[in-house]
């Protein structure tokens, strides 16, 4: 049984990850700002009141985990705001970076002492952060924040490699969730299953790689 910490798991992909991981016997620690009834019913432990964009949230997060070993840390918390060239919301763009880019780095740094050789760090990113794969433009804040978190993930792969800790950057697919307004081409069940398969397969031989949940490697 593995201990898996998942951020942003009160709904959507994070909630489904918690469900599937629990069903197979893993112990899930759910980290969120405000827990839903669904995640309370699933997770072994809920750490609430944690905002990944706020440095002051890290001390209580660390205190709740104590010296507990984390086998898998899944940085899933994220936001999506739509923006349009000519009507840009620059404050909204900054918020994308605070949550989507700095959040995973902040949480991983705060919990670094809980990771051991063989632990895994996962960042749920998006293929829209791929520069090579950008064929439509738009979504400035979200795209840029995901491009930046891919760089953060690569840095973490180098940083944690000497400790035997593997890092994965995972695209969940275009998933039908509240975040996407119910639009998408896959549901949370299938997405979470694919993500878990990628997490299980992660090892030091391909740390720092950008993967689709379905298994193909994505371009930067």
Q: pLDDT truncated to tens, each residue of the chain (220 aa)? A: 899 999 999 999 999 999 999 999 999 999 999 999 999 999 889 999 999 999 999 999 999 999 999 999 999 999 998 888 998 999 999 999 999 999 999 999 999 999 999 999 999 999 999 999 999 999 999 999 999 999 999 999 999 999 999 999 999 987 755 555 555 567 889 999 999 999 999 999 999 999 999 999 999 9
Q: How is the beta sheet containing 166-171 ordered, strand by strand?
A: 45-47, 27-31, 3-7, 70-75, 115-124, 166-171, 209-212
How many angstroms separate the CA atoms of 48 and 78, rounded? 16
Q: Using alpha carbons only, how large is the chain's radius of gyration in Å?
A: 16
Helices then strands, counting H and E runs in the chain, come out as 7, 7
């Amino acid at each position: 049984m593995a201990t898996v910490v998942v951020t942003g798991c009160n709904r959507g992909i994070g909630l489904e990850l918690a469900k599937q991981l629990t069903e197979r016997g893993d112990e899930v620690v759910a980290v969120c700002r405000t827990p839903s009834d669904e995640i309370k019913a699933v997770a072994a432990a809920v750490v609430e009141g944690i905002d990944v964009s706020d440095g002051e949230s890290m001390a209580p997060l660390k205190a709740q985990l104590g010296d507990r070993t984390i086998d898998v840390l899944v940085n899933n918390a994220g936001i999506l705001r739509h923006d349009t060239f000519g009507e840009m919301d620059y404050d909204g763009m900054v918020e994308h970076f605070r949550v989507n880019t700095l959040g995973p780095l902040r949480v991983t740094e705060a919990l670094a002492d809980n990771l051991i050789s063989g632990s895994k760090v996962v960042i749920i990113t998006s293929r829209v952060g791929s520069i090579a794969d950008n064929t439509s433009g738009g979504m400035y804040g979200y795209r840029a924040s995901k491009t930046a978190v891919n760089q953060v993930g690569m840095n973490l792969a180098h940083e944690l490699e000497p400790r035997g800790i593997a890092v994965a950057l995972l695209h969940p697919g275009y998933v039908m969730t509240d975040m996407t307004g119910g639009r998408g081409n896959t549901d949370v069940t299938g997405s979470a299953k694919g993500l878990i398969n990628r997490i299980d397969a992660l090892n030091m031989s391909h740390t720092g790689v950008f993967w689709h949940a379905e298994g193909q490697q994505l371009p930067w």
